[in-house]
């Protein structure tokens, strides 16, 4: 069981800044994120795109902002449960919470801060009849253990980096790999595209374009696929696995069953401290809604800061708190480091 | 007046005739959201970067619209429910020559 003061669900910019603000008030944080790395959308969707409205940064790449936020909060030693989705929560008699992930990891905290952005990123599924029937029975959206595909035949669909990368990776271990894409052009790193072309020329992979999978067949498990080529010719091919890689789309997912008040696909909060209808659970950043809400990173930072004040009072009942300026009191990390402003040197003119 | 008229068919088939400003650097996805025609969180989830297809629309009128750039074309090539008249509404800026435009919002994907 992982124990912490504030359990943050979502390791995007707002979640990461919460670690810093909480740290200033001596509260420890642990973050859960469905993605494999921190940074949320900024890291997953647009790391190379510039953001122009972060105060003090005329222009900063989303990926750089994440790096800076990680750097800014590192002395408060946040814990991370990455690649797992927060699924269930239980409120104990003492008012604390247990949150478990889809992989069964349990977390115990007095405060939950949901900073989940647009929700957890889940694979986009193609529209195919009987698709559900073959899920985990030949159809996989995520490759967790590539060895599962050893000496098997695999059909991958998609035109982005993950389709290309997995085609290259699996070419070495599978009996056969077929990459199917609706266009002749691929949207991926140039060297990945070149590598796939090289593998195709060496007959190590089959590439079928422009084409799409239109039907799945098989009794117990997936056995065959129908591919429509050039919007005309239909062809059946035998396969052990079908891996559609059409990117990720955010879903509120299990959070929508926590009993939180939901409006417009977001969690309703009180703007006093961004607490939800469940005392002790806060929602900050893009995932919350209130009158006048703006889904901006800078608003998430503000919400995180105010939220920490209330969290402190819940964790330290009876203790009074006064706002401190970091310039005056410095930043004392949990790792023993201390940052502080240099004292001005005063020297007499007559000396 | 810098406003133009645009007709939007929502996902349930209801037609909304709305007035759209041409001087606010808005796109069609933002127009849909500004009138709350579809539920928040179901359209424009990537914010308008052509990185999701949640704002896919079908252009119904014969207006000449600026050609697709590579990122839009690539995204649509991976989207679902795509037709010949599919576009990402976030990539279409509201300009005066779009007065009278009619479009339909594609199913969520």
**Cβ–Cβ gap A45/B51 under 8 Å:** yes
Domain at A129-246: CATH code: 3.50.50.60
Task: Write down the domain spans for chain B.
Answer: 3-105
pLDDT at res. A161? 85
pLDDT at res. A351? 58
The CATH topology of domain A2-121+249-339 is FAD/NAD(P)-binding domain (3.50.50)
pLDDT (average), residues B25-42 = 94
pLDDT at res. A350? 74
- Closest chain B C-alpha to A126 CA, distance in angstroms: 7
Tell me the C-alpha distance between B29 and B15, whole Å. 16
Name the residue with higher pLDDT: A6 or B51: A6
**Cβ–Cβ gap A183/B77 under 8 Å:** yes
* B45 close to A (CB below 8 A): yes
Tell me the C-alpha distance between A51 and A59, whole Å. 6
* A190 close to B (CB below 8 A): no
Interval A283-323: pLDDT, tens:
999 999 999 999 999 999 999 999 999 999 999 999 988 88
CATH class name, domain B3-105: alpha beta
Q: What is the mean pLDDT of each run of 10 residues along chain A (351 residues)?
A: 98 98 97 93 89 97 98 98 94 96 96 93 87 92 88 95 93 96 86 94 95 94 95 94 89 91 93 97 97 96 97 94 89 95 78 58
Distances (CA, A) of A51 to A56, A59, A75, A301, B30: 12, 6, 26, 15, 18
Is it the case that residue B1 has pLDDT exceeding 70? no
pLDDT at res. A252? 85
Q: What is the pTM of this model?
A: 0.82
Task: Write down the domain spans for chain A.
Answer: 2-121+249-339, 129-246
Instruction: Give the containing element (helix H, strand E) for A268.
Output: strand A266-268
pLDDT (average), residues B86-101 = 96
Distances (CA, A) of A261 to A96, A264, B36: 20, 10, 20
Retrieve residue B45's tokens: 């989830």
Interval B8-21: pLDDT, tens:
999 999 999 999 99
Instruction: Give the containing element (helix H, strand E) for A51.
Output: strand A50-51
């Amino acid at each position: 069981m992982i124990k912490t003061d504030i359990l943050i669900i979502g390791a995007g910019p707002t979640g990461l800044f919460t670690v810093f603000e909480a740290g200033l008030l001596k509260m420890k944080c642990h973050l859960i994120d469905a993605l494999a790395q921190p940074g949320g959308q900024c890291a997953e969707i647009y790391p190379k795109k510039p953001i122009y409205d972060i105060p003090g940064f005329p222009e900063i790449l989303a990926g750089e902002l994440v790096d800076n936020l990680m750097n800014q909060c590192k002395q408060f030693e946040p814990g991370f449960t990455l690649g797992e989705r927060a699924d269930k929560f239980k409120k104990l008699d003492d008012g604390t919470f247990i949150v478990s992930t889809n992989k069964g990891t349990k977390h115990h905290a007095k405060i939950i801060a949901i900073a989940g952005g647009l929700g957890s990123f889940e694979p986009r599924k193609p529209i195919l009849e009987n698709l559900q029937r073959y899920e985990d029975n030949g159809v996989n959206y995520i490759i967790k253990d590539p060895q599962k595909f050893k000496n098997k035949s695999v059909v991958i669909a998609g035109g982005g980096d993950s389709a290309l990368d997995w085609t290259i990776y699996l070419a070495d271990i599978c009996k056969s790999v077929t990459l199917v894409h609706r266009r002749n052009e691929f949207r991926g790193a140039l060297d990945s595209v070149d590598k796939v072309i090289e593998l195709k020329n060496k007959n190590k992979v089959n590439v079928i374009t422009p084409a799409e999978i239109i039907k799945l067949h098989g009794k117990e498990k997936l056995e065959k696929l129908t591919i429509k080529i050039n919007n005309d010719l239909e062809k059946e091919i035998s396969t052990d696995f079908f891996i559609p890689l059409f990117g990720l789309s955010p879903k509120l997912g299990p959070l929508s069953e926590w009993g939180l008040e939901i409006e417009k696909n977001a969690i309703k909060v009180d703007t006093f401290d961004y607490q939800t209808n469940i005392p002790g659970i806060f929602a900050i950043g893009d995932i919350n809604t209130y009158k006048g809400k703006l889904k901006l990173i800078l608003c998430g930072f503000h919400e995180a800061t105010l939220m920490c004040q209330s969290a402190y009072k819940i964790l330290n009942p009876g203790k009074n708190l006064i706002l401190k300026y970091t310039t005056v009191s410095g930043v004392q990390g949990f790792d023993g480091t201390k940052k502080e402003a240099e004292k001005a040197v005063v020297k007499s003119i007559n000396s | 007046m810098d406003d133009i008229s645009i007709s939007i068919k929502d996902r349930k088939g209801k037609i909304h005739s709305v007035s759209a400003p041409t001087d606010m650097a808005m796109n069609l996805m933002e127009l849909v959201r500004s009138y709350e025609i579809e539920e928040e969180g179901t359209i424009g989830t990537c914010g308008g970067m052509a990185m999701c297809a949640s704002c896919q629309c079908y252009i119904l009128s014969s207006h000449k619209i600026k050609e697709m750039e590579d990122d839009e074309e690539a995204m649509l090539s991976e989207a679902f429910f795509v037709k010949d008249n599919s576009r990402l509404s976030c990539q279409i800026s509201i300009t005066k020559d779009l007065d009278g435009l009619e479009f339909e919002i594609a199913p969520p994907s």
